Each structure stands twice: as C-alpha cells, then as structure tokens.
C-alpha cells in the first residue's frame, strides 16, 4: 500500500502504550482503555494511534476477521475476488466509523469474516499435497495480499479479535472507530508514530498477525538481522517499521515452533553473556544454548512491549530497561503501561492491589482463567 505522508515533518515524542486483561474473562467496552491512553497525550504526536481488542466478535468467533484498508474501490474489488476464491466469506461489510473533525481523510475500511477453503491448494497458500493448518493458510493469504495487491493492506486477521488504527491521536482514532460500542476481555492501545518512517494508516501500532498483536515503545536496532532471520521461515515484512518483527517473532516461536512464552521472552531479551557466565550450571547451559541457537532473533535496542494473544497478554522490557514499563493488579485485572497515571486513569482511580516496575528482560503475563 502506498505510504502516504500526513501532518508534515517528523515530531519526536515518547510513545504511549497501555493494555489490560480481565482475567475472569468479563468483557468491557472501550471506555477504560480510552481513558488510559488519553492520560498520556503528551507522549503522542498526532501521527498515529491504535487499539487491539480481544473477544469482540462472539457471533463470529469461529471465523477469521480480516480488517483491510484500501486506497480505492477498484483494489477492494480485486482483493474481494481473491478472498472469494480462497475463502468462504460469511460476511463482508464496512468497518463502522464516525466522522471526526481532526481526521480529514482515511482509506476505505472493510472487514470480512472468513474460513479457508482447505480443499484448494495453490503454490502461495499451500503447495500441492501440503497439509497446512488454517492459521498458516491465513498467514500466507495476508502476506500475499499485502505484497501483491498495491493499495491494499490487511491490518488484522485473527479470530474473535480486531485491530483499529490510523493517523491521529489515539483518542481521535478511538472515537473514529466507535470503540465504546465493542466489548472485549483484553484491550491494548498505542499513541505516537513514526520514529524512522512516514506516517500512514497501516504503519500505526498495533501490529498483528492472526491472534498475535504488539504495541511497542522504543526502537529495534536489530531490525535488519531479525528481518533476515524471519524471512527464512516465510515471513514478509510489509509495514515498513521495526515493530513488525516483534509480532512475527512471537508468532514464529509460539505458533509455529510451539515454544512457551517464558522461552520466547528469554530468546528475545536474554541476559548478557557476562551475566550468563556467573549463573549456576543449569541456567548457564539453558541461556547459552538459547543465545547460540536463536542469536539472530535477539531484539536489541530500547523497547517496552505489550503483546496480546488468544486468552492472554504479556509485557516485556529490553534487557537494561531503557524504556518504561509499569505493571499493576486491581481485582481481576492486570495492567501494563508506560506510566502509572495512565493505569490509574484506566482503573477509574479504584483501589489497586499491587503496582510494580518489572526488571529488564522480566516477563509479566496475564491469562483468562479457565473454569
């Protein structure tokens, strides 16, 4: 998709991230996440805002929800023909949105609830006689659309979840997408864009593939080697930003390689070699092997990230905590964010049971508790 520039030159600011998960599985509308991200407006710059919500499509929970932005109706027609060829399309509709004075223009925004036509095999979606999973089939379709259909960009593709993002302050983007009309058990939000690239609707955070999504404060200086590593596994970088690799690394390790979240976090933000040398033999062996095997997946540079997935949310800092990350618990809710004030605002200043600042490389995880 053409990366159209908005709002003039680059404006550096601090990046705002916040997320929360109701671990009892209750769903709430977008009011709390909007309150939290609005408290960090000075960290944003009006060039990007976005949200991720899990549990918002209960009536279509068995379908993949494609959110796609188009530059014009013609490319939308072409992509819809592709979807009809490779998927059963249960519903096609515009993504509901309001008129917001601060948002002067936007792409065509459509969503499609689909299931793969697994009996059909084609060299890009599934080699002949190759038995790909539904998730892999969908991921390949996302890469094909984003690479081959100029003017189209799939920015959300998971089940029972959705990404909503664009150019503007996050409060404006939230109003634009009518987020108070959705109910989710997990909400994530981001304010600010870009660091090293132009502002366009697809380049705002979150970045997602299937049910993995990421909001990120910082800069991944290892982007080049991370990108080359991911390309070995069939991933295609199409968003033009460093945060994209984090989403794909989580997808690679948790979905394709079926590693647990602790191992995945240890790969992305492991201890330094001089720390490993002073560990007991068991830990030294563990981290030494991880760094030797997955060295090209290590994420360097300052970062604080919140990652969403089906039924859970995880937070992680870079190894020396160059970006802030605050965690808190209130009743059945886990919060992660850039600032304590945002968490308290999202919590409506109710009692917080615990608040802490995770160490560099320390994973914080929340999950919906199953009966």
Decide: 243 and 220 in contact? Cβ < 8 Å. Answer: yes
* Amino acid 333: pLDDT: 95
What are the boundaries of each domain within the chain? 28-49+210-371
Alpha-carbon span 48 to 66, nearest angstrom: 21
Closest among 231, 263, 232, 227 to 245, alpha carbons compared: 227
* Amino acid 199: pLDDT: 77
Residues 256-269 have pLDDT tens digits of 999 999 999 999 99
Alpha-carbon span 365 to 115, nearest angstrom: 30
Strand-by-strand arrangement of the 64-70 sheet: 87-94, 108-116, 64-70, 152-156
Averaged pLDDT for residues 357-369: 95
- Both tokens assigned to 329: 């618990």
Residues 17-69 have pLDDT tens digits of 999 999 999 999 999 999 999 999 888 888 899 999 999 999 999 999 999 99
Q: What is the largest CA-CA distance in the chain?
A: 62
Topology, domain 28-49+210-371: 3.60.20
Alpha-carbon span 357 to 341, nearest angstrom: 13
**Which residues are designated catalytic?**
15
- Go through 146-167 and write b for each residue having 16 or more CB atoms within 10 A of its CB, e for each that does not: beebebbbbbbbbbbbbbbbbb
- pTM (whole model) above 0.75: yes
Mean model confidence pLDDT for the chain: 91
**Backbone torsion region of residue 265, taken as left when φ is above 0, otherwise alpha when ψ lies between -120 and 50, otherwise beta:** alpha
Alpha-carbon span 13 to 32, nearest angstrom: 23
Closest among 204, 196, 181, 171 to 47, alpha carbons compared: 204
Closest among 205, 213, 155 to 184, alpha carbons compared: 213
């Amino acid at each position: 998709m053409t990366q159209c520039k908005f709002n003039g030159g680059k404006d550096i600011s601090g990046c705002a991230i916040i997320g929360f998960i109701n671990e009892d599985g209750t769903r709430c509308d977008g009011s709390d996440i909007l309150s939290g991200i609005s408290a960090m407006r000075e960290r944003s710059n009006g060039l990007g805002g976005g949200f991720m919500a899990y549990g918002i499509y209960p009536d279509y929970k068995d379908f993949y929800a494609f959110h796609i932005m188009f530059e014009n109706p013609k490319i939308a027609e072409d992509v819809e023909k592709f979807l009809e060829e490779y998927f059963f399309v249960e519903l096609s509709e515009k993504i509901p949105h309001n008129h917001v004075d601060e948002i002067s223009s936007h792409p065509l925004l459509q969503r499609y609830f689909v299931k793969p036509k697994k009996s059909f095999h084609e060299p890009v979606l599934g080699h002949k006689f190759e038995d790909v999973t539904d998730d892999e089939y969908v991921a390949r379709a996302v890469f094909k659309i984003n690479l081959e259909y100029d003017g189209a960009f799939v920015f959300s593709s998971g089940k029972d979840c959705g990404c909503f993002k664009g150019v503007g302050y996050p409060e404006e983007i939230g109003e634009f997408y009518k987020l108070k009309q959705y109910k989710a058990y997990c909400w994530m939000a981001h304010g600010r864009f870009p660091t090293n690239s132009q502002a366009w609707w697809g380049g705002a955070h979150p970045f997602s593939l299937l049910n993995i999504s990421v909001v990120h404060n910082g800069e991944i200086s290892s982007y080049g080697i991370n990108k080359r590593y991911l390309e070995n596994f069939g991933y295609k970088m199409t968003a033009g930003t460093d945060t994209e690799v984090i989403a794909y690394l989580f997808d690679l390790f948790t979905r394709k390689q079926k590693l647990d979240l602790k191992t995945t976090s240890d790969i992305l933000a492991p201890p330094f070699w001089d720390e490993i040398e002073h560990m007991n033999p068991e830990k030294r062996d563990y981290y030494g092997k991880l760094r030797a095997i997955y060295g090209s997946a290590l994420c360097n540079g300052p970062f604080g990230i919140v990652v969403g997935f089906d039924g859970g949310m995880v937070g992680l800092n870079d190894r020396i905590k160059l970006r802030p990350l605050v965690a808190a618990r209130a009743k059945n809710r886990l919060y992660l964010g850039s600032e304590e004030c945002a968490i308290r605002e999202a919590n409506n200043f109710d009692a917080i049971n615990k608040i802490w600042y995770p160490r560099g490389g320390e994973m914080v995880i929340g999950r919906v508790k199953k009966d």
